[in-house]
Chain A
Amino acid sequence: MITGTGTTASPAEVATPPVRATSLLRRSLRLWRTRIGVLLVGVLVLLAIIGPYVAPYGPSTPVGVPNSGPGGKAVLGTDYLGQDVLTRFLYGGRSILATALIATAIGLIVGVAIGLIAAYSRNALDDVLMRIMDVILAFPQIMFALVAVAVVGPQAWVIVLAIALTTVPRAARVARGAALPVVERDFVACSEAMGVPRWRIVLGDLLPNTLGPLMVEASLRTTYSISVIAALAYLGLSPNPNSPNWGTMIQQNQIVLATQPWGAVMPIIAIALLTMGTGLIGDGIARTAAGIDRARSAE
Chain B
Amino acid sequence: MRRLTSGGVPGFVIRRLLLGIIVLLMVSLVVFAATQALPGDPALAILGRSATPQSLAALRKTLHLDRPVIEQYLTWISGLLHGNLGISLAAQEPVTKLLAPKLVNSAVLVAVSAVVSIPLSVAIGSWAAFRREKVFDTLSSNLLLLLAALPEFVVAITLVLLFATTVFPHLLPSISTIAPGSRPWDHLNYLVLPTLTLVIAVAPYVARIMRASMVEVLESDYIEMARLKGLPERTVLIRHALPNALGPVFQVIALNLAYLAGGIVVVEYVFNYGGIGSALQESVLSHDLPVVQALAMLIATLYVVLNLLADVATIVVTPRLRTKL
Complex Cα distance, B321 from A96, in Å, reads 43
Question: Do the beta carbons of A257 and B166 come within 8 Å of each other?
Answer: yes
Per-residue A-contact encoding for B272-306, CB less than 8 Å = 1, 0 else? 00000000110111010100100110011001100
Q: Given A4-B255, A131-B19 in contact, is the A139-B299 Cβ separation under 8 Å? A: yes
Question: Do the beta carbons of B148 and A4 come within 8 Å of each other?
Answer: no
Complex Cα distance, B144 from A33, in Å, reads 13
Question: Do the beta carbons of A140 and B263 come within 8 Å of each other?
Answer: yes
In residues 67-96 of chain A, which contact B (Cβ within 8 Å)? Answer: none
Question: Do the beta carbons of A143 and B262 come within 8 Å of each other?
Answer: yes
Complex Cα distance, B145 from A33, in Å, reads 10
Q: Could you tell me the dominant secondary structure of chain B's interface residues?
A: helix
In residues 131-147 of chain A, which contact B (Cβ within 8 Å)? Answer: 131-132, 134-135, 137-143, 146-147
Q: Given A1-B263, A142-B265 in contact, is the A147-B157 Cβ separation under 8 Å? A: no
Q: How large is the interface on A (under 10, 10 to 19, 20 to 34, 35 or more residues)?
A: 35 or more
Q: Given A1-B148, A140-B303 in contact, is the A151-B37 Cβ separation under 8 Å? A: yes
Min Cβ gap B12→A in Å is 16
Question: Do the beta carbons of B34 and A147 come within 8 Å of each other?
Answer: yes
Residue B191 is within 8 A (CB to CB) of chain A in the complex = no
Complex Cα distance, B205 from A276, in Å, reads 15
Q: Given A1-B149, A138-B23, A141-B262 in contact, is the A257-B255 Cβ separation under 8 Å? A: no
Partner of B262, one of A7, A9, A142, A254: A142
Partner of A6, one of B255, B270, B304: B255
Complex Cα distance, B149 from A275, in Å, reads 5
Complex Cα distance, B312 from A127, in Å, reads 20
Question: Do the beta carbons of B165 and A257 come within 8 Å of each other?
Answer: yes
Complex Cα distance, B219 from A99, in Å, reads 45
Partner of A142, one of B34, B146, B263, B292: B263
Q: Which residues of A contact B47 (CB under 8 A)?
A: none
Q: For B30, give the chain A residue with the smallest CB separation.
A: A135
Min Cβ gap A197→B in Å is 26
Residue B90 is within 8 A (CB to CB) of chain A in the complex = no
Q: Which residues of B contact A278 (CB under 8 A)?
A: 149
Partner of B150, one of A236, A265, A275, A283: A275
Residue B152 is within 8 A (CB to CB) of chain A in the complex = yes
Name which of A198-206, A209-217, A226-234 contacts chain B.
A226-234
Complex Cα distance, B142 from A283, in Å, reads 10
Q: Which residues of A contact B24 (CB under 8 A)?
A: 138
Min Cβ gap B97→A in Å is 21
In residues 1-46 of chain A, which contact B (Cβ within 8 Å)? Answer: 1-7, 9-10, 33
Question: Do the beta carbons of B287 and A150 come within 8 Å of each other?
Answer: yes
Q: Which residues of B contact A5 (CB under 8 A)?
A: 255
Complex Cα distance, B262 from A147, in Å, reads 12
Q: Which residues of A contact B145 (CB under 8 A)?
A: 33, 279-280, 283
Per-residue A-contact encoding for B17-41, CB less than 8 Å = 1, 0 else? 0010011101100110011011000
Q: For B283, give the chain A residue with the smallest CB separation.
A: A150
Residue B106 is within 8 A (CB to CB) of chain A in the complex = no
Q: Could you tell me the dominant secondary structure of chain A's interface residues?
A: helix
Residue B153 is within 8 A (CB to CB) of chain A in the complex = yes
Residue B194 is within 8 A (CB to CB) of chain A in the complex = no
Complex Cα distance, B27 from A132, in Å, reads 10
Residue B1 is within 8 A (CB to CB) of chain A in the complex = yes
Min Cβ gap A263→B in Å is 11
Q: Which residues of B contact A236 (CB under 8 A)?
A: 281, 285
Question: Do the beta carbons of A254 and B157 come within 8 Å of each other?
Answer: yes
Question: Do the beta carbons of B151 and A230 come within 8 Å of each other?
Answer: yes
Q: For A132, give the chain B residue with the smallest CB separation.
A: B26
Question: Do the beta carbons of B281 and A1 come within 8 Å of each other?
Answer: no
Complex Cα distance, B27 from A279, in Å, reads 31
Question: Do the beta carbons of B149 and A147 come within 8 Å of each other?
Answer: no
Q: Which residues of A contact B296 (CB under 8 A)?
A: 139, 143, 147
Complex Cα distance, B289 from A279, in Å, reads 36
Residue B199 is within 8 A (CB to CB) of chain A in the complex = no
Question: Do the beta carbons of B280 and A1 come within 8 Å of each other?
Answer: no
Min Cβ gap A17→B in Å is 18
Partner of B35, one of A134, A151, A283: A151
Known: A150-B284, A257-B157, A279-B146. 12 other contacts (CB 8 A): A1-B149, A2-B256, A4-B258, A139-B303, A140-B262, A142-B265, A146-B265, A150-B287, A235-B269, A264-B157, A268-B158, A275-B151
B residues with a Cβ closer than 8 A to A are 1, 19, 22-24, 26-27, 30-31, 34-35, 37-38, 142, 145-146, 148-155, 157-158, 160-161, 165-166, 169, 174, 201-202, 205, 208-209, 212, 248, 251-252, 255-256, 258-259, 261-263, 265-266, 269-270, 280-281, 283-285, 287, 289, 292, 295-296, 299-300, 303-304
A-B contact pairs, 7 of them (CB 8 A): A135-B27, A140-B263, A147-B31, A226-B151, A234-B269, A254-B270, A257-B166
